[in-house]
């Protein structure tokens, strides 16, 4: 048996939580309805974006998560949780602590896991979505190149797909940038993901954030039993006859899941040479992806940095919908200078 991952990261990519406001610390002299309304107002007083109504809730977007709020009395009458919390990708791949997930205070026990996607992204030159698979799952489907083992309605489904293709199809530049930072580029990336929902988690006594540390062993136990074989007539025969010794001898499997933690690096102001090279690279990459024939890249860069007498950093963003590039520079004195360029 061989492991087929060359380089990889392992982390929780999706996390949905339930929470009941009356389970959190309250002032005993205050009616729960009043306390609940006060908490809701606290959301609305902070920096947020109202997303609209859906599934009987008001949805609000914050920096690291979005929250779905249900009317307190309505949630009691319908036996629903007051709050649904959905964390962002950027937050989940960062150096957060488990206690940071308790965004309204309380303890880990107060936050119920509704859905969690335990994810492995690995780099390899071979496309293992084309391999034969032996597993304990009863069903297997191939939907547009994504391999599914199990059924979502059962709360336990495994997915294997070409991450590079997904990034190209969705043009998710933030994910492309983050994964390029980790892997060097986004070529030959694959995702092996275990999607777990409350229906299944309850059966194995994983209920709250207090149990989240159990997910590593769970992933290794479930995914470790999945075997991949080259698509040959001989291997098809082994699978058909359930020839376990032969299957084990000819299989590949995923490496053990070890949670990924990003290293904290001290930030330094880049040199002008690095600044120019980096902006040129990003603009030309954008031009290639959007088929924009714009060969005055260096002229654009010179316009961007002209007049800057020193800076402590910059942020460059491609806004696809506007076919526009924006650069924000933090100058040495702490002020910010912005520049915009619209592609013709």
Mean pLDDT of the chain: 77
| Exposure string for 135-146, b = 16+ CB within 10 A, e = fewer | bebeeeeeeeeb
- Is the domain of 249 the same as that of 282? no
**134: confidence class by pLDDT, cuts 50, 70, 90:** confident
- Is the domain of 104 the same as that of 190? yes
Kindly report, residue by residue over 20-45, the tens digit of the pLDDT: 877 766 544 556 666 666 666 666 66
- Is the domain of 212 the same as that of 315? no
Q: Which domain holds residue 291?
A: 272-342
How many residues would you count in the chain? 344
Question: How many whole angstroms separate alpha carbon 233 and alpha carbon 58?
Answer: 55
Of 253, 286, 303, the residue that ends a domain is: 253
**Residue 210 within a domain:** yes
CB contact at 8 A, 124 and 111:
no
Kindly report, residue by residue over 210-233, the tens digit of the pLDDT: 999 999 999 999 998 888 888 888
CB contact at 8 A, 329 and 336:
yes
Residue 8 structure tokens = 């990889």
pTM of the predicted model, to two decimals? 0.69
- What does the pLDDT read at residue 58? 87
- Is the domain of 197 the same as that of 301? no
- Is the domain of 240 the same as that of 335? no
Instruction: Give the count of beta carbons closer than 10 Å to the beta carbon of residue 309.
Output: 7
- Is the domain of 178 the same as that of 309? no
| Exposure string for 93-102, b = 16+ CB within 10 A, e = fewer | beeeeeeebb
- Is the domain of 9 the same as that of 137? yes
- Is the domain of 281 the same as that of 230? no
For 39-106, give the DSSP string.
HHHHHHHSS-EEEEEETTEEEEE-SSEEEEE--HHHHHHTT--SEEEEE-HHHHTS---GGGG-TTSS
**Residue 49 within a domain:** no
**Residue 151 within a domain:** yes
**Residue 285 within a domain:** yes
- What does the pLDDT read at residue 343? 54
Question: How many whole angstroms separate alpha carbon 238 and alpha carbon 229?
Answer: 10
- Is the domain of 98 the same as that of 135? yes
- Is the domain of 276 the same as that of 245? no
| Bridge partners, 228 (sequence order) | 133, 252
Question: How many whole angstroms separate alpha carbon 160 and alpha carbon 316?
Answer: 32
**Residue 66 within a domain:** no
Domain tally for the chain? 2
């Amino acid at each position: 048996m061989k492991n087929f991952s060359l380089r990889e990261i392992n982390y929780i990519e999706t996390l949905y939580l339930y929470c009941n406001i009356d389970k959190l610390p309250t002032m005993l002299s205050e009616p729960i309805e009043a306390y609940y309304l006060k908490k809701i107002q606290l959301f609305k007083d902070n920096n947020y974006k109202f997303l609209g109504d859906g599934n009987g809730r008001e949805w609000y977007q914050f920096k690291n998560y979005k929250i779905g709020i249900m009317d307190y009395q309505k949630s009691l009458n319908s036996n629903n949780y007051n709050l649904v919390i959905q964390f962002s990708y950027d937050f989940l791949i960062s150096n957060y602590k488990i206690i940071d997930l308790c965004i309204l205070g309380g303890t880990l026990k107060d936050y119920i896991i509704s859905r969690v996607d335990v994810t492995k992204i690995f780099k390899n030159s071979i496309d293992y979505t084309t391999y034969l698979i032996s597993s304990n799952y009863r069903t297997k489907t191939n939907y547009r190149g994504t391999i599914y083992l199990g059924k979502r309605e059962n709360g336990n489904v495994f997915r294997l797909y070409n991450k590079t293709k997904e990034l190209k199809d969705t043009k998710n530049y933030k994910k492309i940038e983050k994964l390029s930072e980790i892997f060097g580029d986004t070529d030959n990336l694959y995702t092996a993901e275990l999607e777990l929902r409350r229906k299944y988690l309850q059966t194995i006594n994983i209920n709250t954030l207090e149990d989240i540390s159990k997910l590593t062993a769970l992933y290794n136990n479930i995914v470790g039993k999945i075997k991949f074989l080259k698509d040959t007539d001989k291997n098809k025969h082994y699978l058909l006859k359930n020839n376990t010794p032969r299957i084990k001898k000819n299989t590949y499997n995923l490496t053990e899941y070890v949670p990924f933690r990003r290293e904290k690096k001290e930030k330094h102001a880049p040199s002008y040479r690095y600044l120019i090279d980096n902006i040129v690279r990003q603009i030309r990459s954008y031009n290639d992806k959007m088929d924009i024939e714009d060969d005055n890249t260096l002229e654009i860069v010179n316009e961007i940095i002209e007049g800057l007498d020193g800076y402590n950093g910059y942020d460059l963003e491609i806004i696809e919908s506007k076919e526009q590039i924006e650069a924000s520079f933090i100058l040495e004195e702490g002020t910010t200078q912005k520049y915009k360029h619209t592609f013709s």
